[in-house]
Amino acid sequence: MHTDPDTLFARLWESYRQVTPSADRIHKILGAEEGQAIVNDHIALRTFNLDPVRLDALAEHFLSLGYEEGGEYHFEAKKLYARHYEHPSRELPKVFISELLVEQCSPELQSVVKSLVGQVKPEAVTADDFLYSGRHWAVDYDTYRQLMKESEYAAWMAAWGYRANHFTVSINHLEQFGSVPEINQLLKDHGYTVNSSGGEVKGSPEDLLEQSSTMADRVPVTFTDETVTIPSCFYEFALRYPKPDGRLYSGFVAASADKIFESTNAGS
């Protein structure tokens, strides 16, 4: 486990930008427009609800840095469960961790996922680098395609393993942009595709959170038998509104999250 959150987030960003060239470019575009550092609202991680890699094991890396458990979220159709974590004192990015509820999936998917997770050494999960260590298993392209038929999430996990699947720019900290539609326009002006599932702006002021995201980049991944170009990771933007007590809402909105998961879909 890391003892210093800044190093952990720097390493997570490094592994993320390597497979997300658009995030690196958009980060530079925004940085130039702003003339100041870009602040992250949150990052997100994915996993399977099997030992030794379940959500709780990933969360340990943040609890040990002083993070506390926030809300929990259920995604019945996608068979996912998620929780968020936030730091009580330092202004650090929030963390959204989800896991696939493997026992609710088909026997075929269960046996594939169990064989992948069975290759993960328990000591690797508590190591400093686990959250940005990528894949811990051998997987071929056919297996990826088989998983894809049942769960885009499972296929994404099988291909990419452990890494941040997105970073999220805090619009509240920007000076030149004050709304999600303004950011979406900037993205489109530079040729990026905005995730339009459920609308380009997810959430509303009443939800106290508005979000948008790019569609994931498509980059080559090396399976055991061939190299194929598939969706990797995406970039997200979040604008938070104050609660009645005046403090910004710090949770997530399940209906919006449900659509943001689809930013890594292969689709059209």
Chain positions contacting ligand OOG, by CB under 6 A? 44, 46, 96, 98, 165, 211, 236, 252, 256-257, 260-261
Q: Is 47 helix (H, G, I), strand (E, B) or coil?
A: strand
The binder of 9, among Ni ion, ligand OOG, none, by C-beta within 5 to 8 A per type, is: none
249-268 burial, b at 16+ Cβ within 10 Å, e below that, comes to ebbbbeebbbbbbbbbbeee
Span interacting with Ni ion, options 12-20, 26-34, 37-45, 171-179, rule CB under 5 A: 37-45
Should residue 236 be labelled a site residue for Ni ion when binding is judged by CB under 5 A?
yes
| Min CB(166)–Ni ion separation in Å | 6
1-22 burial, b at 16+ Cβ within 10 Å, e below that, comes to ebeebeebbebbbebbbebbeb
Q: How many residues bind to Ni ion according to rule CB under 5 A?
A: 2
**Single-letter residue type at 21:** P
| Min CB(96)–Ni ion separation in Å | 5
Should residue 217 be labelled a site residue for Ni ion when binding is judged by CB under 5 A?
no
C-alpha span between 2 and 65 (Å, rounded): 8
C-alpha span between 256 and 201 (Å, rounded): 9
119 touches 137 (CB < 8 A): yes
The binder of 237, among ligand OOG, Ni ion, none, by C-beta within 5 to 8 A per type, is: none
Q: Give me the phi and psi of 32, to 5 degrees please.
A: -70, -40
Q: Which is nearer to Ni ion, 112 or 238 (CB)?
A: 238
| Min CB(113)–ligand OOG separation in Å | 17
Span interacting with Ni ion, options 177-185, 187-195, 216-224, 236-244, rule CB under 5 A: 236-244
Should residue 258 be labelled a site residue for Ni ion when binding is judged by CB under 5 A?
no
Both tokens of 160, joined, read 């990419």
| Min CB(260)–ligand OOG separation in Å | 4
Residue with the shortest CB distance to ligand OOG: 257
21-34 helix and 180-189 helix, angle to the nearest 10 degrees: 120
| Min CB(1)–ligand OOG separation in Å | 22
Query: Could you list the residues that contact Ni ion (CB under 5 A)?
Result: 44, 236
